[in-house]
Homo-oligomer: A and B are copies of this chain.
Amino acid sequence: MLYIIGLGLGDERDITLRGLDAVKKCEKVYIEAYTSLLSFGLSAHGLSNLEKLYGKPITVADREMVEEKADNILTEAWQSDVAFLVVGDPFGATTHTDLVVRAKKLGVSVKVVHNASVMNAIGICGLQLYRYGETVSIPFFTESWRPDSFYEKILRNHNLGLHTLCLLDIRVKEPSLESLCRGKKQYEPPRYMTVNTAIEQLLEIEHTRGECAYNEDTHCVGFARVACEDQMIVAGTMKQLLAVDFGAPLHCLVIVGKTHPVEEEMLEFYKLKR
């Protein structure tokens, strides 16, 4: 049996009892390291906290490992109980559909243990989840690559009065350009897009496209470390949020659409006081 277990968004205490029961009976425990381990407090003591809680060692599985060695993991899961731990929910912002499909094709049984995902936890700012349009991802711009396919989606949501969740780029274990040239694997240090960078890039694109999807007076909500003890949620215009230091990752950004009075009332608590 392959258990795919959501860990939620904060730290090791955000696993569910159902999830913990499952981990405890598994012979092998993997944790995905694609995305947000750092935010999960796993850079320093986090992993050993998890191991202490579970009473067993955990193997960190980066994207490379899961892609290249999925068959090993699945063979183990065919013979015994294997846990694959995922920050957030297994089918939230980062999905693990691939692994499930491979497992099912091999006849390995799969059980999913759900948990909170950033895609529902942002509900805490008071904007109703059912009033969001399509979610967009904002990638880091480079000198030569400044994609703007998210712009149309934001514009559409704006025209419909819907809120837009912007998921911000995470670059973990990116091979360095130098290493690609030399054919030797070396990695860039991890990068996590801030709310500030996201807004800068968004305004640059609006400047180029000029179709009025938003401007520096558009109301937004910036989030850092959602659902963690030190989460930060600030509501304000793009211009205002540009000046806010949101601190450590992960960040995300919501562009506010048309609001209902009850949404406004809640947002009020998060607004910058002058």
Q: How far is the CB of A53 from chain B (nearest CB, A)?
A: 8
Q: Identify the stretch in A25-33, A118-126, A171-179 within 8 Å (CB) of chain B at 4 or more residues.
A: A118-126
- Is residue A224 contacting chain B, with contact meaning CB distance below 8 A? no
14 more A-B contacts (CB under 8 A) besides A17-B17, A130-B137? A12-B17, A13-B16, A14-B18, A89-B120, A97-B126, A97-B128, A97-B266, A101-B269, A112-B124, A114-B227, A115-B116, A117-B123, A117-B129, A119-B119
CB under 8 Å from chain B, chain A span 188-212: none
- Is residue A230 contacting chain B, with contact meaning CB distance below 8 A? no
Show 19 residue pairs from A and B whose CB-CB distance is below 8 angstroms, ordered by the A residue.
A9-B114, A14-B17, A14-B114, A16-B17, A17-B20, A89-B116, A89-B123, A90-B124, A93-B129, A95-B123, A95-B129, A97-B262, A97-B263, A98-B262, A114-B121, A116-B120, A117-B129, A119-B120, A156-B160
**Given A98-B262, A130-B167, A134-B133, A114 and B104 contact (CB-CB distance below 8 Å):** no
Query: How far apart sit A16 and B270, CA to CA, in the bound complex (Å)?
Result: 26
Contacting residues, chain B, for A137 (C-beta < 8 A): 130
Per assembly, the copies of the chain total: 2
Q: Does A128 contact B95, Cβ atoms closer than 8 Å?
A: yes
Query: How far apart sit A128 and B156, CA to CA, in the bound complex (Å)?
Result: 19
Contacting residues, chain B, for A100 (C-beta < 8 A): 126, 266
Q: How far is the CB of A15 from chain B (nearest CB, A)?
A: 6
Contacting residues, chain B, for A128 (C-beta < 8 A): 95, 97
**Hey, what's the 0/1 contact readout for A3-27 against B, CB within 8 Å counting as 1?**
0001011101111111011000000
Q: How far is the CB of A254 from chain B (nearest CB, A)?
A: 13
Contacting residues, chain B, for A132 (C-beta < 8 A): 134-135
Q: How far is the CB of A257 from chain B (nearest CB, A)?
A: 10
Q: Does B124 contact A8, Cβ atoms closer than 8 Å?
A: no
- Is residue A245 contacting chain B, with contact meaning CB distance below 8 A? no
**Given A119-B119, A129-B91, A134-B160, A14 and B13 contact (CB-CB distance below 8 Å):** no
Partner of A120, one of B92, B101, B269: B92
